[in-house]
Amino acid sequence: MFGRSQSSGSRNQARFRGQDYNAELHLTLNDAHTTHKQTLTVNGKNIRITIPAGVEDGQVIKLTGHGGEGINGGPNGDLYITFVIAPHPVFKRAGNDLHTTVDIDLYTAVLGGEVMLETLSGKIKLKVNAETQNGTKIRLKGKGFPVYKSEGQFGDLYVTYAVKIPTNLTERQKELFKELSKS
């Protein structure tokens, strides 16, 4: 009379959380440089995700509820995505900074001039000072990699100049270098 009685036909079944899934997503450095949408197929389901600019190699993100189905009404598991970013042939990434080497000829190194550099976000013109030494490193503030989930913030780009010595000189060119070496 005072309490509720449960009918003997219904039983409390234990609810179990679904299994967590792990997946790898392979990206190029160019892919990781810009925010973009991508569709993943995990266990036969297509999942469309937005990948923020600046994700790092080995970084893991969690998509709640995109794992295995729960049992007896339990919650779904989660999906953990690990980003794998392939090395780039020109740029090396260190956090939000990028490093590269630019070849310049001997004449540009001695007299100064300009060189074009193709970056992940377009071409830029670099001014080379006269008498630039081999191995000189310059810093281009804000021209590096985007900071993860920080709109408008970028690391720096470090450029190292590699002076290329001319080969197959004519006899006249060799004579001119000999004259220069005497001064």
Structural domains of the chain, ranges and CATH numbers in brackets: 21-85 (2.60.260.20), 92-182 (2.60.260.20)
Both structure tokens of 87: 């090395």
DSSP at 16: B
Alpha carbon distance 89, 91 (integer Å) = 6
Considering just the CA atoms, what is the radius of gyration of the chain in Å? 29
The set of residues, in sequence order, having a beta carbon less than 8 Å from that of 117 and lying 6+ positions away, is 100, 102, 123, 124, 125, 126, 159
Q: What pLDDT is stored for residue 166 in this prediction? A: 86
Going by C-alpha positions, the residue among 149, 154, 95 that lies closest to residue 120 is 154
Q: What pLDDT is stored for residue 173 in this prediction? A: 87
Q: What pLDDT is stored for residue 180 in this prediction? A: 81
Each residue's pLDDT tens digit, 43-72: 888 999 999 999 999 999 999 999 999 999
Each residue's pLDDT tens digit, 130-158: 999 999 999 999 999 999 999 899 999 99
Alpha carbon distance 68, 75 (integer Å) = 9
Going by C-alpha positions, the residue among 60, 58, 73 that lies closest to residue 13 is 73
Q: What pLDDT is stored for residue 11 in this prediction? A: 57
Each residue's pLDDT tens digit, 26-49: 999 999 999 999 998 888 889 999
Q: What pLDDT is stored for residue 7 in this prediction? A: 47
